[in-house]
Amino acid sequence: MDIWLSRIGAVIIGLIVSMLIGIVYLYPLLLLIRYLLKRKNKSIDRFFDKKIVFYLWILVLIVMISVFISYLINIDIILTISTSIYTGVIAIATCWTAVFYTIKRYR
């Protein structure tokens, strides 16, 4: 039971750190890209749809399940790959969600 609590704790810490990476590093970069493209009369706002945000978070859930499955079957290479994908997908989903709500609020 102790091993599972530490593994669940590691996944939760990974979730929090990945969200912070998305907010701190990717969010300002994506807003800058959106601003620069908008100045050139090219809009990327159609990519920040509620459906896309929903699908990104479904993808986060699927990857999180794959991380837990790789813990269960105890194959290190699958665990390494799935945790790397987990970190990236959460950072992107967090950033995308933040930009979506920023656009929605300031239209």
Instruction: For residue range 14-43, list pLDDT tens digits in order.
Output: 899 999 999 999 999 998 988 888 888 887
- Residue tagged 């939760």 (tokens): 12
- C-alpha 106/C-alpha 46 separation (Å) is 15
pLDDT at res. 1: 65
How does pLDDT run across 58-102, given as a tens digit for each residue? 999 999 999 889 888 888 888 889 889 999 999 999 999 999 998
Residue 69 neighbours by CB under 8 Å, 6+ apart: none
Apex 35 CA angle, 88 and 18, nearest 5? 15
pLDDT at res. 9: 86
- Residue tagged 């102790």 (tokens): 2
Against a cut of 0.75, is the pTM above it?
yes
- C-alpha 99/C-alpha 78 separation (Å) is 31
